């Protein structure tokens, strides 16, 4: 089945230690998104790629970076995780207009110790 896969499902990292979360898709969608979701809140968009074009949200901290080396893969890098960065990180994909909805991965639960 075509899908969006996130690895790992659970990640524990130390305060200030760089961490990378990965996302892959078999849907061949042009657009890939990274969301941050804290407990009992709606997902918050961090950035998205339209093909290789990177679009950063204005309020996304500089601590968060992303790479998309090819259509299938996208990475979220957190350069110096703080305790406030502990959250569920969701990757999603869509067709260019997004009018058919987004396909989400299962998420990566990040814990910062």
Contacting positions for another protein (CB under 8 A): 4, 6, 40-43, 45, 48, 88, 90, 92, 96-107, 109
Please report where in the chains the tokens 């979360």 appear, as a residue. Answer: 21
Nearer to another protein by Cβ, of 63 and 88: the residue is: 88
* H or E element that contains 78: strand 73-78
CB of 78 to another protein, least distance (A): 19
Residue 61 CB coordination number (10 Å): 13
Nearer to another protein by Cβ, of 26 and 80: the residue is: 26
CB of 13 to another protein, least distance (A): 18
Q: Which of 85, 37, 83 is nearest to 61 (CA)?
A: 85
Phi, psi for 23 (deg, rounded to 5): -145, 135
CB of 11 to another protein, least distance (A): 13
């Amino acid at each position: 089945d075509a899908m969006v896969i996130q690895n790992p499902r659970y990640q524990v990292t130390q305060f200030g230690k760089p961490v990378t979360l990965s996302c892959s898709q078999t849907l061949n969608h042009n657009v890939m998104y990274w969301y941050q979701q804290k407990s009992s809140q709606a997902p918050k968009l961090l950035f998205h790629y339209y093909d290789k074009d990177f679009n950063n949200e204005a309020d996304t901290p500089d601590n968060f970076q992303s790479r998309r080396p090819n259509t299938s893969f996208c990475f979220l890098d957190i350069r110096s995780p703080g305790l406030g960065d502990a959250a569920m990180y969701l990757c999603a994909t869509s067709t260019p207009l997004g009018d058919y909805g987004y396909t989400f991965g299962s998420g990566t639960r990040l814990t910062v110790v």
